[in-house]
Chains A and B, each alone.
Chain A
């Protein structure tokens, strides 16, 4: 008989240190999420699994993370699919400008899709990647220098955009400008752009409220293809217990990132809309008809996107349908039960 121990990978018995590539800083919401993930892995494994986070993209630019992790330069990493469109098309279904506005619903739907759908998993595997968990950046908002009160204003506005919103806002008459988020502060302050597409929390992080005071709460357009990937070989080398533990932490990460995000958005809005001279940001709903137009153009863009991915021989239609079905399932669950963390608060 073959002795299995001779072939067992060396890594399984010893404590392992996972080298993690993260593009962002060790601060703010994402920094806390990353540190939470690290702490949970380390405490629940009694130190058998250690996470060595390399911040600030020092192990690879955001666009290089899939290759860097697939090759084992890093063992795990944060993937932002909008930096690598075309690489993991089927996972990118979570970035299309359709779907829910409810973060918790979207978070559960994309997580279930990426952990269970064979086609999605296969595309990760093809890049020697194992999908582990999901983050999210929240819904897209606009921050503007002046109030946005009617749709007609759009044609006079220069808006810094990215992703599907570029096409959508252009179709709605705006002038769209591409620019790194780090340059936007100055561009807003000088009036080079009138508005910027951004997430609630990034307004605070990039301090754009200092130079633009009007936030139009579109609250639509979730970027969900944003998660944790691991080197597939290393994943295979882990013991069954280690894999189970990582999955459990990733499961719990879902509730953690969403509840934390909502709490942070709440306090950021409270802070930025306060009377303090530094803040005084005014939050308002989008002008009448704007969301309908966005949804209309967004849906047709999503269709075009599905066609183009189908043309590559990938089952984009099926994956998109399954994602929608999952969204409906979790929306129904949410309508009935609300947020689990709030329910727990009630019963305890």
Chain B
């Protein structure tokens, strides 16, 4: 069987399994393993011979899932999830959202906007979108649901906001891109700042318009308050402010790495929670239990996504597509457009970092030869693959939010809401591509 046919068959198989309500994690694992098996048992132009596939597939299953979950940067994920649960149970986040309601009573969709801004703040301490979505999902979604926000808006705004994790520095994806392309990681980080800010703005406008068109999505806020109540509300936010100051300060002054910040933030939240007697031992244990549960759900899924990336990798289909694109004698602009479409398509079913590993070795020389700036392309690529985090059928951020909300919100409600934010993303992408200075203005001031 030739690899392209096989890859298409595997994708179709994936969709059929999802249609049959096979949990996404199981469906991904199944088709990736069958695909891997067929690559070896039935190579192009040779007869079917299952025996030949046993040892390679055995090595694949014996190494890939384990090495994947044992990645150092993933230690951020359980730690940020604990932080989210503890901050929620100790009511630090309630204080935060109360203050926002009191300070900005007239703002339509104020809590959703606050959540997106909160995601942006969280992104500046977390290098991973998955960690960002999992913590903010726990912090923000319940608050919005509590005040009658539509499920779609409440979940999708955080799923979309979570994608800021890789655009706003620090960013694991940009580090990998920088190492692969030998571009300055410092410059890449700085280049992400304005596009990150524009993305936040775009999400805020999206929420604003959403609520304008469908006022039911975010019930009006009838709270009135005196100025002393407002001051009190602001002062009550001190625990979460302290955590943010220590962590952001710790990273930028050199006491903490981005990965370590997750542990320190969670530790501070737990300690303050206990000291203020707002976190009981039972609540703390519940937070741990939910974290363990959520990690299990997320990582079974992530293993499936990783196996899928490995399968697509061995078929060479991603790199073949990149090569095909460049062999068509298209104009540079058209090649760029094709590459964008390619990344969006790959993003529908592959995980972000997997896409980078599979495509960069071929895409980058092409982009370079066309005369494009690699720092700029890095930002474009991050934005492209972050969109993939919220597109069906494999949208990791959406799954992360789903793992927080459980049965109370349908998966496709989250995907539907996210689709609206994707429109905003496409506008931002267009701006970033057409006006490279949006990304390059700040790095140009360095050195």
Contacts and interface: CB of A to CB of B under 8 A. Distances in A.
Direct interface between A and B, CB < 8 A: yes
Contacts of B73: 180
Contacts of A277: 447
B256 A192 contact: yes
A58 B254 contact: no
A28 B178 CA distance: 13
Residue picked from B175, B181, B361, most chain A C-beta under 10 Å: B361
B166 interface: no
Interface string B255-270: 1111100000000000
A189 B169 CA distance: 14
B362 A278 contact: no
Interface stretch (A43-51, A67-75, A164-172): A67-75
Nearest to B172: A182
A342 B186 CA distance: 39
A205 B257 contact: no
B55 A68 contact: no
Interface stretch (B310-318, B399-407, B411-419, B430-438): B310-318
A236 interface: no
A207 B309 contact: no
B257 A187 contact: yes
Given A27-B181, A56-B361, A60-B64, A183 B259 contact: yes
A186 B309 CA distance: 29
Contacts of A199: none
Contacts, number: 119
A190 B176 contact: no
Contact of A25 (B62, B180, B258, B447): B180
B178 A68 contact: no
B361 A26 contact: yes
Interface in A274-297: 277-278
A25 B60 contact: no
Contacts of A182: 175-176, 179
A60 B182 CA distance: 22
A210 B67 contact: no
Contacts of B310: 58-59
A67 B357 contact: no
Contact of B63 (A68, A179, A180): A68
B251 interface: yes
A67 B182 contact: no
A183 B258 contact: yes
Give chain B's interface residue range (CB within 8 Å of chain A): 35 or more
Interface string B48-91: 00000001111110111001000011000000000000000000
Contact of A73 (B60, B180, B447): B60
B357 A71 contact: no
Given A68-B63, A190-B253, A57 B55 contact: no
A204 B184 CA distance: 10
Contacts of A27: 180-182, 364
Contacts of A70: 59
Contacts of B361: 25-26, 55-56
B124 to A, nearest CB: 13
A79 to B, nearest CB: 14
Contact of A204 (B58, B182, B185, B357): B182
Contacts of A59: 310, 313-314
B67 A73 contact: no
B415 to A, nearest CB: 28
Interface in A148-192: 179-180, 182-183, 185-187, 189-192
B360 interface: yes
Contacts of A204: 182
A64 interface: yes
Interface residues of A, number: 41
B59 to A, nearest CB: 3
B395 interface: no
B273 interface: no
A187 B261 CA distance: 13
A334 interface: no
A333 interface: no
B148 interface: no
B137 interface: no
Nearest to A10: B46
Contact of A71 (B55, B170, B255): B55
A190 B58 CA distance: 44
A249 to B, nearest CB: 22
Contacts of B253: 190-191
B59 A73 contact: yes
A187 to B, nearest CB: 6
A67 B360 contact: no
A54 B259 contact: no
A67 B185 contact: no
A68 B253 CA distance: 42
A63 B67 contact: yes
Interface string A184-216: 011101111000000000001111001100000
A52 interface: yes
12 contacts: A25-B182, A28-B182, A61-B63, A64-B67, A67-B62, A71-B56, A72-B40, A183-B257, A187-B254, A189-B254, A206-B185, A207-B184
Interface of B: 40, 55-60, 62-64, 67, 72-73, 170, 175-176, 178-186, 251-259, 309-310, 313-314, 316, 354, 356-358, 360-362, 364-365, 447
Interface of A: 19, 25-28, 52, 54-61, 63-64, 67-68, 70-73, 179-180, 182-183, 185-187, 189-192, 204-207, 210-211, 277-278
Given A58-B310, A189-B254, 9 more contacts: A54-B314, A56-B357, A56-B361, A71-B58, A183-B258, A186-B251, A190-B252, A190-B255, A206-B179
